[in-house]
Amino acid sequence: MTGRWVFTPTGFLDLLLSLFLLPVICLYLLLLALGRLCGRSSCDPDALYAMFIVPAVLHELEEKGVTWMIETRDENGFFARVFTIHPFAPSDRVIELAPRHTVMEFRSEFHGFGRRLAFSRGLVATTQLIKRLVQLIRREPIAMIRAQDPYVSGVLGLVLAGIGGIPCCVSIHADYDQRHMLDPKKGAPVLFGSRRAAKLMESIVLARACMVLPIRESIGAKAIASGAASDAVHVIPHGIDLEVFRRRPAAEFAAKWKGGARHLAVFAGRLSRENYVHDIIDIAARIATLRRDILFLLVGDGHEARDLKDSIGKKELADIVSLPGFLPWETVAQLRMAADVNLCLMGGFSLIEAAASGKPVIAYDVEWHDELIRNDETGFLIPEGDVAAATEAILSALDRPEHAGKLGANARNVAFERHSLAAASRQKVQCYQALLGRG
């Protein structure tokens, strides 16, 4: 049964040690640090510094072409300097990414949250990480900490905030319960193999964060149900760099990717079950019985890649389905604009990008999608899992290009109005001002 912890002698020992020894050790570190932090750098009221704790690795962000997202965290100079912390990287390094932005990566034994490891190694790694970040707080006038998830990053942020006497906010970028339902093994964080244990951690973090920043209303409601105070929840919609979507790709670009196909359907994102990638193969198989003048391009990588390739082979779809792997972000944006239809059955950033392309979007009616995609107005909103209806939507978009173009243009207008970097930045700055007592 999913979500249940499976008993093993070593796992049980690890759990006992974690439940009883870790709080004692953390309390010791807290008291030790509190005694030493009286001499930390004072905050210059005109030069705010921030720390972001993010479960990512820089080289992976570079491969995806999205390091620009790091450089937006100063919010157009609101923060004089931003330290982005990657606590679970393969090696220690410090990267001066831009004049205001420093990325610090720390080697960890936790190569993937939820993986079992020896308690002693994990304890040493965690202690060393906290020690080095405490030294950073003592050295730099950090005014605020933002953790990018309510799990390990959130716990680390709260510990450091308590030590430094500074506010900590926690952002939520996904509906983790939905992801776990779709992919119990890898869809959402677990603790000692248990989703319930991770949910307990989530509740503790959300209840103690000074501010909780979900990316949409539906996630905010779930955060409140999980323990966040209603007045601490402030929705900050995703903002993306829309400038690339103002530059239409050349005809040669589209022709290159289409090959011999007449039409192009693009998916771009993680190849994982929560993105319904296997539904896309089923849709392609249905389309293939009617026409084979369309190429389905699934851009990205993930743990479902091998199974997808097997499915493509078994269903004899190799001529109409292609998996090119990761591509630079600007190339992905151009592909979205070159497409005849964008498939985004589940998406966050990806749904905004698909809408900004100006091409018709097909999305499932799940989570927040109806806030951006209104059926037959800004795209095609399909009942979850209804591959037959999704197939019909694709055929409609191909057979009625003028109507499809109107849907795409409407979606583009909504995306540009609501999800520009400037619009998102204004909302985040308002939240940060309130967090820092400047509102």
Residue 113 predicted with pLDDT over 50: no
Cα 5 to chain centroid distance, Å, stands at 26
The pLDDT of residue 122 is 57
Q: What local confidence, expressed as pLDDT, does residue 46 receive?
A: 65
Please state whether beta strands 380-382 and 263-268 pair in parallel, antiparallel, or not at all (unpaired).
unpaired
| pLDDT at residue 342 tops 50 | yes
Q: Which amino acid is at 85?
A: I
Taking residues 166-183, what's their average pLDDT?
90
For 188-223, what is each residue's pLDDT tens digit? 888 878 888 899 999 999 999 999 999 888 899 999
With 0-12 CB in 10 A as exposed, 13-18 as middle and 19+ as buried, what is 374? middle
Least confident segment among 35-39, 40-44, 171-175, 284-288:
35-39
Query: Each residue of 125-162: pLDDT tens digit?
Result: 777 888 899 999 999 999 999 999 999 999 999 999 99
**Beta-carbon contacts of residue 176 (< 8 Å; ≥ 6 apart):** 187, 188, 189, 202
Average pLDDT, the chain: 86
Share of the chain above pLDDT 90, in %: 61
Q: How far apart are CA 382 and CA 393, in angstroms?
A: 8
Q: How far apart are CA 285 and CA 295, in angstroms?
A: 12
**Residue of higher predicted confidence among 260 and 228:** 228
CATH tag, 16-239+421-435: 3.40.50.2000
- The domains of the chain are located at 16-239+421-435, 243-418
Residue 293, Cβ neighbours under 10 Å: how many? 12
Give residue 29's pLDDT band: very low, low, confident or very high (50, 70, 90): low
Residue 26's pLDDT band (cuts 50, 70, 90) = low
- What per-residue confidence (pLDDT) applies to 10? 46
| Token pair 């190799």 in the structure block, residue | 318
Largest CA-CA distance found in the chain, in angstroms, rounded: 73
Under CATH, what is the fold of the domain 243-418?
Rossmann fold (3.40.50)
Between CA 322 and CA 96 the distance in angstroms is 37
- Region label for 74, one of left (φ > 0), alpha (ψ between -120 and 50) or beta (otherwise): alpha
Ranges 35-39, 95-99, 282-286, 317-321: which has the least confidence: 35-39
Q: Quick one: average pLDDT of 35-39?
A: 45
